Amino acid sequence: MAVVAGDLTDYGLPEEARVLAKEVAGVRIPIVAVFGNHDIESGRAQEIRQILIDAGMVILDGEVYETQGIGIAGAKGFGGGFGKHALGPWGETIIKEFVREAVDEALRFESALARLRTAHLIGLLHYSPIQQTVDGEPLEIYPFLGSSRLEEPINRFPVSFVVHGHAHRGQLQGATKTGVPVYNVSMPLLTRSFADRPPFRVFEVPTADLVREPAATPFAASPSRGRRATDAVAS
């Protein structure tokens, strides 16, 4: 199985989604993805979603996907900042709307996690739930890279690990306050960190039906004309 942490397109245009749809048409393993901020840039997210679903991809937005004892809870997430520096809903209306979006995305993610009863739970996000994996980015943009509100539901459920993208200059790995591993699979970060190999990561998740072997063959969405594919895959 392959999971893609968002930014499936450059500018959120249907023609870009059709390029990706052609590339994945022959893939024989499940491809599960969430949208990133690029995918909603042009306000045509529903068109893009349908194009990719018709091509066989699974696009999660507060939904879940289950296979072989592994459950994936996916949502885009949003910004807002981390810990005591997180933005609060006070002041101008636009600030309150920003915080409301962060809260709504966290609730959407939590609702997905709550529906899973599989042996392994995997969180799939675009925005980061912790500060550790965005460290290295300019401090001024931390509030736009993720939100601690996304971490709270992770710590309340038996999540095996979480993957996200978006933070191109961040760190490869961190952990929530309860020790759940969080992996940044942003393609620019993987390209810099592993210059001698393709920009994707492989995660082994044993299940009751598989004895200590990868759950599926890994797949990497490589950049191509007409789409960005900046936030790479984990399988």
What radius of gyration, in Å, describes the C-alpha atoms of the chain? 17
CA-nearest of 33, 30, 98 to 67 is 30
The pLDDT of residue 172 is 97
Domain ranges in the chain? 2-234
Average pLDDT, stretch 32-60? 97
Residue 129 has pLDDT above 70, yes or no: yes
Return mean pLDDT, the chain. Answer: 89
Least confident piece of the model among 106-120, 169-183, 208-222: 208-222
- pLDDT tens digits, residue range 143-158? 999 999 999 999 999 9
Inter-residue contact 7 to 223 (CB < 8 Å) = no
Average pLDDT, stretch 212-235? 40
Least confident piece of the model among 93-107, 143-157, 184-198, 204-218: 204-218
Residue 163 has pLDDT above 90, yes or no: yes
Average pLDDT, stretch 70-92? 95
The pLDDT of residue 207 is 60
Average pLDDT, stretch 51-60? 97
Exposed, middle or buried, 26 (CB in 10 Å: 0-12/13-18/19+)? exposed
CA-nearest of 167, 73, 71 to 113 is 73
The pLDDT of residue 213 is 36
CATH number at 2-234: 3.60.21
The pLDDT of residue 204 is 87
